Structure 1
Amino acid sequence: MIDHYDWRGGREAMLRFGPETGPIVVIAMPLFEEANRTRAFVVTLCRALAARGVASALPDLPGQGESLVPLETCSIFDVAEGIERASKADWEAGRALYSVAIRSGAILDKLALFSGRWHFAPQTGPELLRDLKRVKQASIGARVLLGDLWYFDVAKPEGVEDQHVEIAGNRISTSLLTALSVYEPWRQDDGGHVRTVRLDTDRKPADRHVPGTPLWRRAEPSNDPALAALLADDIAAWIARCGG
C-alpha cells in the first residue's frame, strides 16, 4: 500500500507491507547511492516479512529516494527525523514498533521510540565518511590527495554558511558530512533490544553471521531472495523473543 508521512520539510512517500495489526518494523535504508543498490532487496525483505505476519513500512527519507527535498539542504538530523515521523502514527496507535536498519541506515533510527533495533551490516558515520572519501578521491585522481577534512577542501559554495560536496552524483552539505564523523549506531547500552546481523565475510562482532551477497558493493542494483528470506526469519523470531 502507498502511504505518506509529514515532517517539518513537507510530505514524503512511504510503502506499507503486511497486516494492519500486530508488530511493525520501519525500514531505515542506507544513505546516498547504496540505497539504489539495495532497494529491490529491501522490498523483497518486506514481502518476506509480510508472509511471516510482520508488517513493515518503507519510507522515502528527506533528500533520499524519490524525495523532492534537495539533499544538499538536508542535515543528518533532517534525514533521521524522517524515520521518527514515519513511525509516529504506528507508535500512537500502540503497535509494537521496531526498526530494521541496513548499512548506514543504522545511524538514522536514533530519534524514534522503538522497542528494539535490528541492524544488518551496520555502518558507522566515520566508516561511511571514509567510503565517501575514497569515492571522491577516485573521481579527482591522484593529483590532489585528500586530507582528514577533505570535504572542506573540495566544497562548492552555496552561500556564506552553506557549502556542498558532489560525490557520485550526490550533492551533500559539509555540515552533514561533519556530523557523520561522530554518528554511531544505537547500542545495547542505549536501551531497548538491539540485534546485529552481518554477512559471514564480515568478521566484525555480531549476534549472527549469515551467508549472502554484499549487494552494496555491486556496480548495479541487484537482489538476493534467499538472503531476504533468511533475514526475514531472523527478524520475525527476534521480534517474537522481544515480545512483539
Structure 2
Amino acid sequence: MISDETKRKLRELNLDEMVDILKIQDDNQSLYLTMTFDERITLAIDGLYQGKNNKRSVRLMKQAKFRFTDADVNSIYYADRGLDKNQILELSTCQYMRNNFSIVLNGFTGSGKTFLACALGKVACRQLYRVRYIRMPELLELRTEATLQGKGIGKLVNKFSNYNLLILDEWLLQELSDDDVRFIFELTEKRYDCHSTLFCTQYKVSDWHTRLGGGTMADAILDRIVHKSIRIDTGSMNMREYFSTKEI
C-alpha cells in the first residue's frame, strides 16, 4: 500500500485519480498478483489517462453551450426522415474535422437540425475538440455590441475562429446589414481550411447568395464554404410535433 506521504504528493501534482486507481489495486490484490510491475503501472496510467480525458470532455461540453445538452447520436430518430444512418455514424468519427470540412444541415423548422448539430458537437467534445454552439442572431448581436463599444470586430472574429467546430444555428434566418456580411466574411476567411463549421439553416445553399446580399462579398463567403462542405437534408418531418405527440 502506498504511504500517506506519497498520496499527498500525488494530490499535490493533481493526480487524485492515480491515488484512487492505486487504492483499487491495493484493495483487490488477488486480481493483480499474476501481473508484472510493468503491466500494473500500464493499467494505472491507462486509467489515469482515461479519467483525465473524461473530465476534460465534460468541461468542453459545458463550455460549448449546447442548446440541447441531452442530444446524443445514439438517440437520433431515423424512420421517415430520409437521414442516412451510416453517414451520421461516419460523421461521428470526426474525420470531416480532421479534413477541415464543414457540414450544412438544411431542413424546415422543427426538423431536428439543432438536436443533430448538438449531438455531433458532443461527439467532437468527447474526442477533445473545442466546440461552440451559438445562434446566428446572438453572434450578430455580439458584433453590434463590439462595434458600438468601439472595440471593433477583430477580437470577436479571433475568438470564434479558434474553435475546432463552430455550430451556427439559424444561419441566414434574419436580414443582414452590410456590416453583418463583412463580419461573416472575416469569420469564414479565418476559419477557412483550418477548422470546421456546422451550419443549421432553413435555406438551401442556392438561396445563400441572395441572403448574403449578392455581389462579390457573397461570392467570397460562399467560395469558402460550399466547396468543402457535407450537405444533409433533415427532411420535412416536424420532430417537435412528433415527440410531443409521443409524450401524451
Q: Which interval holds the TM-score relative to the shorter structure?
A: 0.3 to 0.5
Larger Rg: 2
More strand by share: 1
More helix by share: 2
TM-score of the superposition, structure 1-length normalised?
Answer: 0.32
